[in-house]
Structure 1
Amino acid sequence: MRILLLCTGLKMGGAEQQIAALARQFLRDGHAVAVVSLTAEQEVSLPEGATVLHLGMRKTLPSFAMALWRLNRFVRQWRPDVIHAHMVHANLAARVLAALTDAPPVLCSAHSAREGGQARMLAYRMTDRWAALTTHVSEAGRQAMIAAGAVEPERIRVVPNGIDTALFRPDPARRQSSRAALGVDADTRVVINVGRLVPEKAQHVLIEAFARLMRQADSATPSTAMRLFIVGEGPARSELETIINRLGLQRVVTLLGMRHDVPAMLNAADVFALSSDIEGMPLVIGEALASGCAVVATDAAGVAELLGDAGKIVPCGNAEALADALDRALNSGIGTPEEQMARRQRIVDKFSLEAVARQWVGCYAALTGVAGNGIPEPAR
């Protein structure tokens, strides 16, 4: 099957990383893959073997029209069986393309429980007829789009993100080397957060919770016995640095910036902490569980579906509750090998990348009449 993955951009976000992961898995399964980005930036790594095109779109109507023209030209040349768009702008662009041309079936995926305000929801509703199907990564996100009037219930279904369980797995040797690289010893309790530094990820709440932990710690315990590392980059960095300095946490809280070794960072952790106010289905929770990591997370959309009873969920924006949950998790440590494998098994059983990719290919086949191996379905 020839699969075109269309996205708004390729920055280091969860949706973008899922696109890259799906591209890798589709190629492994013998499909042809093209990844087309409306914008020029690229921070995620795409697999060799994928055809890649950046349309260089800017936030102007003439630029959008030019990007749409270039997209149509590429579709006619590359001849995909299906166009699978991800994120708001790509979803709308794919629908407009379908309205104006004889494009192949268009499938649109939303990744956030808050895809935008009323204008975007109206745009989704007005263009819905040109999408063969809309999906969301979580039931909470699906319900939010229905409630906002973006889509009728029968026109949207849930397909979760897939986790690459071969890449994200417990690795004692990697744990030791990663902790050494971070400058922490075997007795130091490590909390890791991974996410863009943007307001909706609410890392300021996590930092405040960690400050509470430090104040509650036994005065005889050195402050270096607990560390918080935040992996990611974004516009909220300076604000977070100000909070860290104000709370006197410079020695124990570190903003690591963008990293390309997230599997190693998760292996280094005793606890993964998610502090977000807004999510769709937070991919990194699945990655942390697949790595055997203990997880504490806020009750943002999609968290409960992914985490189940494999971790602790606390209310969004509540630093005290987050601190208490982190304290209990850190006192328990990463757990026994059996506990680590139980966390991992939840992801292997329900959210593995291989299983999700098969689900997508089945969906594409149903929309196109093309079997997963690229052979047309026989007439019935």
Structure 2
Amino acid sequence: MKIVHIISGLGVGGAEALLLNLVSESRTSGGTHVIISLSSLDTMADRLRAAGAEVKFLGMQPGIPNPLFLIRLARWIVDASPDVVQTWMYHADIFGGVAALLARLIFRVRGLHHRFALVWGVHRTEVPTAKVGRLLRTLARLCAMVSNHVPDSVVCCANASYKTHVEAGYERSKMQVIHNGFDVRKFVPDAAARATLLSSLGLPSRSILIGIVGRSNPAKDYDNFLHAAALLRQRVPDCQFVMVGKDVDAGNKELAHSMNELGLADACHLLGARNDLHRIMPAFDILCLSSRTEGLPTVVGEAMACGVPCVVTDVGDTGQLVGDTGLVVPPRDPVKLSKALEEMATLSLDQRKTLGKRARERIVESFSIAVCWQKYRDMYATLLRAKRVTR
């Protein structure tokens, strides 16, 4: 099965990580992939090539799209002669969707009966508002308006995404949910990781390491986390907070001010952006997610795969992901978040290990990248069979 993926750019993000994992996983099942980035952003390109994909860049710039790029993209689709065109997120859904329609027209003009499936991808929980960005909001509205006519199917990464986008006007009959998958071979328990991290931070062995992973962004609600951490430290003083993510570092003056005001300066350890999360996460005693909004958070699935129990806010499908292996609290409530963290922190080591073991089993059985790829492959096969019947 040959799949052309169209994506806005190849920076580092949840959708891009999922794409890389799907490409890697499909190697053994005969999947071949051509990845077309609309922009020149290429951070993930080498990793995708190493996983076996062909990577191409359209080189679009922000602003009004040049029609020549649309024609070039359509020609690239025709040249690839794919079984499936899979687009990723609103920009690619609209621009790639129009290019796919043009490619189908080119096939017909040439007298070819090649019929590929077109699948859109939704990787946001909430439909963008004007506050998030007018262009993004406009693209989402356009997607909703034409969702009954352009794509053959629309895949959402979470049930919460499905619900909000149907409410926004997306065609319900075209939509389905395939949860993101996690790399259970890369993210694994590591008994030595905790001692290594404690040593690097200069912390005593009695410390309880509570990790949080996410970029510095209002959606991740670090303010919620820090207020909960301050309350928790009053009751469980051995707790130490390891914070990882883009701009979560010593240069972030806003975070530094909050930590100083809350008396957490000596208890918080800001590691910034890291590319070795699979080595850091197994060191945590607990992972915390304090977000205001999520779809299916990658960091929670990866922590669970590492055997780390999680305390999370009830956003998107996070509660469904965690199940009974962790604790779920309302968003924007630092008091309840601190109490849940205290409940987890005061468990015995064996009790937390038992929860962590169940967490990994849950990811392996229901949310691994192997499970995810199988669902994508089954969906593609179903769409292609339907096209053969209607040919």
Asked if Structure 1 and Structure 2 have the same fold, meaning a TM-score greater than 0.5 normalized by the shorter chain, the answer is: yes
Shift in Å at residue 160 of structure 1?
0.5
User: Could you say which structure has the greater relative contact order, defined with CA pairs below 8 angstroms and 6 or more residues apart?
Assistant: 1
Of 294, 302, 308, which residue of structure 1 is paired with 2:309?
294
- Asked if the contact 1:8/1:39 (under 8 Å) is kept, the reply is yes
- Asked if the contact 2:248/2:272 (under 8 Å) is kept, the reply is no
Answer yes or no: is 1:304 the counterpart of 2:319: yes
- Asked if the contact 1:95/1:127 (under 8 Å) is kept, the reply is no
- Which residue number corresponds to residue 24 of structure 1? 24
Residues 68, 180 of structure 1: CA spacing in aligned structure 2 closer, same or farther, 3 A cutoff?
farther
State the distance in 1 between where 2:22 and 2:253 align.
33
Answer yes or no: is 1:60 the counterpart of 2:69: no
After superposition, what is the alpha-carbon deviation per residue over 1:52-108, rounded to whole angstroms, capped at 9, x for unaligned? 123333221135x45434422322333322111122211222212123331832111
Residues 144, 315 of structure 1: CA spacing in aligned structure 2 closer, same or farther, 3 A cutoff?
same
Shift in Å at residue 377 of structure 1?
8.3
After superposition, what is the alpha-carbon deviation per residue over 1:181-237, rounded to whole angstroms, capped at 9, x for unaligned? 3443432111111122211111221112112222334xxx5xxx3221221115994
Shift in Å at residue 23 of structure 1?
1.4
1:123-134 counterparts in 2 under 5 A? 123-128=142-147, 129-134=149-154
State the distance in 2 between where 1:378 and 1:99 align.
20
Query: TM-score, structure 2 length as denominator?
Result: 0.86
- Which residue number corresponds to residue 367 of structure 1? 383
Shift in Å at residue 47 of structure 1?
5.1
Residue 81 of structure 2 aligns with an amino acid whose one-letter code is R
Residues 198, 235 of structure 1: CA spacing in aligned structure 2 closer, same or farther, 3 A cutoff?
farther
1:148-297 counterparts in 2 under 5 A? 148-149=168-169, 151-217=170-236, 225-234=238-247, 237-297=252-312
Residues 80, 241 of structure 1: CA spacing in aligned structure 2 closer, same or farther, 3 A cutoff?
farther
Shift in Å at residue 50 of structure 1?
1.3
- Which residue number corresponds to residue 112 of structure 2? none
- Which residue number corresponds to residue 356 of structure 2? 340
State the distance in 2 between where 1:157 and 1:280 align.
14
SS of aligned partner of 2:296: coil
Of 319, 344, 352, which residue of structure 2 is paired with 1:329?
344
- Asked if the contact 1:13/1:196 (under 8 Å) is kept, the reply is no
Number of aligned positions between the proteins: 367
State the distance in 1 between where 2:59 and 2:247 align.
21
- Structure 2 residue ranges without an equivalent (≥5): 106-115, 130-136
SS of aligned partner of 1:141: helix
Residue 308 of structure 2 aligns with an amino acid whose one-letter code is C
Of 105, 110, 117, which residue of structure 2 is paired with 1:105?
117
- Which residue number corresponds to residue 318 of structure 1? 333
State the distance in 2 between where 1:249 and 1:327 align.
16
State the distance in 2 between where 1:342 and 1:368 align.
37
State the distance in 2 between where 1:46 and 1:257 align.
24
Residues 67, 320 of structure 1: CA spacing in aligned structure 2 closer, same or farther, 3 A cutoff?
farther
State the distance in 2 between where 1:317 and 1:379 align.
50
After superposition, what is the alpha-carbon deviation per residue over 1:97-142, rounded to whole angstroms, capped at 9, x for unaligned? 1233318321111111113135344211222111010011111211
- Asked if the contact 2:88/2:121 (under 8 Å) is kept, the reply is yes
Residue 20 of structure 1 aligns with an amino acid whose one-letter code is L
Query: TM-score, structure 1 length as denominator?
Result: 0.88
State the distance in 1 between where 2:202 and 2:388 align.
57
State the distance in 2 between where 1:148 and 1:377 align.
32
State the distance in 1 between where 2:376 and 2:198 align.
37
Residue 290 of structure 2 aligns with an amino acid whose one-letter code is S
Residue 70 of structure 2 aligns with an amino acid whose one-letter code is L
Residues 79, 101 of structure 1: CA spacing in aligned structure 2 closer, same or farther, 3 A cutoff?
closer
Q: Which moved more, 1:347-356 or 1:75-84?
A: 75-84
- Which residue number corresponds to residue 351 of structure 1? 367
Shift in Å at residue 379 of structure 1?
11
State the distance in 2 between where 1:271 and 1:312 align.
11
State the distance in 1 between where 2:289 and 2:185 align.
23
Residues 14, 208 of structure 1: CA spacing in aligned structure 2 closer, same or farther, 3 A cutoff?
same
- Which residue number corresponds to residue 373 of structure 1? none
State the distance in 2 between where 1:254 and 1:54 align.
38
Report sequence identity in percent.
29
State the distance in 2 between where 1:54 and 1:73 align.
13
Q: Which moved more, 1:295-304 or 1:179-188?
A: 179-188
Q: Which moved more, 1:352-361 or 1:76-85?
A: 76-85
- Asked if the contact 2:329/2:336 (under 8 Å) is kept, the reply is yes
State the superposition RMSD in angstroms.
2.6
State the distance in 2 between where 1:235 and 1:285 align.
18
